[in-house]
Amino acid sequence: MTTTAVSPALLTDPGLHADGDPHAVWRWMRAHAPVHRHEAAAELPAFWSLTRHGDIRAVYRDAATFSSARGVLLRSGDDPGGGMTLALTDAPRHKQLRGLMADWFNTRAVRGLEGYIRAATRSVLGRAVELGRCDFADDVAGRLSLSVICHILGIPERDHEDLYRWTNEAFEAHTSLVSHPMLVEYFMELLYQRMEEPTDDLVSALVNGTVGGELLTEEEAVFNCENLIGATENGRLALIGGMQAFLEHPEQWQRLAADRSLMPGAIEEILRWTSSATHSMRVATRPVEIRGTRIEAGDRVVLWLPSANRDEDVFTDPYVFDITRSPNRHIALAAGEHFCIGSTLARAEMRVLFTELLDTVGRIEQSGPVRRLRSIEVGGPESLPVRLTAK
């Protein structure tokens, strides 16, 4: 671990997350300032930072006191999707909206998707092996996670490449997907098609299902499609971060290769270790005390997930990557009513990808430097050059 000057203010600097050691800051805050006030600075409003596992979990589990409706990411103003997308609604609307989408992400649905996930994995891996050298982030993980969510939404295979390009353009420009004109136009067109001729895909459910007795507006349906595409960025980062963890800890890869029954535990450890969602934000709906500190109604509270998942009060040797860790009470996928709806899907993608790698790829070597994302919202490698050699 590199040393970093420990100042909580650094946490809002994307450069710290790309090139520095945010864990040094979080470790200090857990010990010395677990409920820390940041005053408004640069373009960001004032907010509170929470860094301990127990405090963060408690906030997630009290959605009545800690609202998601003004945004769940620390930004200059309120989120334009507030009150509209699944992540950005409170009860009772949140539950109804979640009910509309849940059938596409539950265990049964994901089991039904396994064949598609395996075929998509074999296709990206086959191409990567043929290339020899590739960027695991782009050529494997990115393409895989995007094609799976496109399949769920009902986007025809021939359009996946366009969707991949547009979402990458939006992410690279650090803009919201909503502001990419091609993406908005594409979803509007798809919505109209499904209004006229519904099929059994998720877009059809979004345009024809009701919430509170009313159809979603076109804007709400488009925002939710984009939110689902955007949310898979986390799935992609878990795949890349998992690969990086195995490259840095080859003995853990060997253990998994020797005993496949370790796969479920390995997946949980990758989720804990990578904690790709760097923070969630909530807004207090009433005055409340956390560890004796008073938070006022309207205050923003930022939950730093990678910190919770290295909390030494909860995890033995938290800075050790150990695929046999047990128990492993990570909260990488949040907790409470906003618990990640894509959790089963994300786990299935990890299981299939790492299984296929073990089955079909003989050697995996890193072939260039890793570049990490410059973001305070999601963390992990945005580029991981590797050389894959077939068995």
Q: Does 385 bind ligand HEM (CB under 6 A)?
A: no
* One of 345, 348, 357, 384 touching ligand HEM (CB under 6 A): 345
* One of 231, 243, 284, 302 touching ligand HEM (CB under 6 A): 231
Residue nearest to ligand HEM (CB): 342
Q: Does 113 bind ligand HEM (CB under 6 A)?
A: no
* One of 12, 252, 276, 278 touching ligand HEM (CB under 6 A): 276
Complex with ligand HEM: residue 143 or 338, whichever CB lies closer:
338
Cβ-contact 20, 4 below 8 angstroms: yes
Distance, CA of 98 to CA of 328 (rounded, Å): 27
Q: Whole-number minimum distance, CB 159 to ligand HEM, in Å?
A: 18
Q: Does 49 bind ligand HEM (CB under 6 A)?
A: no
Complex with ligand HEM: residue 146 or 386, whichever CB lies closer:
146
* One of 113, 146, 225, 341 touching ligand HEM (CB under 6 A): 341
Site track 232-261 with ligand HEM (rule: CB under 6 A), x = hit? x-xx--x-----------------------
* One of 332, 373, 376, 386 touching ligand HEM (CB under 6 A): 332
Q: Does 277 bind ligand HEM (CB under 6 A)?
A: yes
* One of 11, 74, 87, 348 touching ligand HEM (CB under 6 A): 87
Q: Please choose, from the candidates 291, 386, 316, the residue with its C-alpha nearest in 3D space to the C-alpha of residue 54.
A: 291
Distance, CA of 254 to CA of 5 (rounded, Å): 36
Q: Does 98 bind ligand HEM (CB under 6 A)?
A: yes
Q: Which amino acid is present at 219? A: E
* One of 178, 340, 353, 388 touching ligand HEM (CB under 6 A): 340
* Residues in binding contact with ligand HEM, number by CB under 6 A: 26
Complex with ligand HEM: residue 334 or 386, whichever CB lies closer:
334
Handedness of CA 69, 73, 77, 79 (dihedral sign): negative
Binding residues for ligand HEM, rule: CB under 6 A, are 68, 72, 86-87, 98, 149, 227-228, 231-232, 234-235, 238, 271, 276-277, 280, 332-334, 338, 340-342, 345-346
